[in-house]
Chains A and B, each alone.
Chain A
């Protein structure tokens, strides 16, 4: 395969005396969907936090596009085109979908008005509408507060927002949890579309059939270490569960 887009080697992360990561490695290639799976407490969320700049690993190295990488904040990751959809969504419920999509990246009016920080709300609304439509987020109205939307629509907004700004890589921490069947399909559809645009997607999920249906590769974490890597087309739910629970280990995975 080609050169890895993002590679983590032997990451460790301690919270006091608790070792959340014990030499975890992870690889993502450009334009693929790779799922990160593992039992509760395996270190998935901690790993994603380290890879998206929310937490700093205690030890280990990161490389991005072949160059060494140090992430001091989520902004560093964002500057490189790495976005994250968090499990708890993290949207501003009182702002409308367009405002949420452009939050922290507002478009300002040209000229003097822009100098004073005046927002170009029309341009943001137009671009947001186009973008939401492209990624299949059906919203009756672009200017109601997010809190007035249903859970699924809120999720679509959160996913669409991250996808809009990611040029290289998107982390999605359980993006389909708490979604209905139709909305789940739609999010999976978005994941595939993002991949087709050449952006790598790292999917964290507990739903094995979903993982197999959407991923190109699967990496398995157990007790803070990578214990197995699979091609999604060559593995099965039984094999994945075996790797998660420790019934199966690959010698070369770590």
Chain B
């Protein structure tokens, strides 16, 4: 029981970086822009969060720095994909390479350092609940903020005017434009905010989850987040499910490794990636129709006012 509880709690913790990245990407994709550079943005977020919190002594300023750096990278992606209409897949790959390389270079002086980072803070009363108390409410503030963010985004996307405008820009930019919505400006805005959230996911890795910086420390989590967006069918609440499922497998395999399981470590470390493929297959086969209905129709397609008929 104790083991199970600790795995559940660890599942939420290791799912949280993915959750931030997934939520950021949902926001961006719903507006019609596909940003595949998550891995690079997360790494830049992890590094800038770590560096800023070391130099200022405040992890909160570290988070702010990570968001800022992520937003700048989002601006680059928005400029290339919205204004210049570049191929968004290739643009995302470029971002992945740039972010990976730039964080490695800029982070070379930070290897081996640690930060106090952000510690756990149990929420009074609810943390005493059975199971849920330990799993959900004995975490850190960033985890609690991610719950709020997921619920808020759900509400924002489905129930508010700006949220509907955002979806219009992603589903039918031509109609949105005819309604007088500034499609380009909307796409810019949510690509920038989305990338900022992605970077927060990276900063969670270096400030909370590990409390150190290492080259390439996200180990494919950015790409897993791209997969989780599809698994979540662009629904922020389902994104929580996907992220924690991934976190659970991660926590489970780490626990097995620590317990000295007879299965070799490299094979255990395959599990999260294998599960990502399986989950994607499962959702594509099972919900293929719902998937194509929920996907933003104009995802990845540039829109030029000049070219409307």
Indicate, yes or no, whether A interacts with B.
no
Interface residues of chain A, those whose CB is within 8 Å of chain B, are none
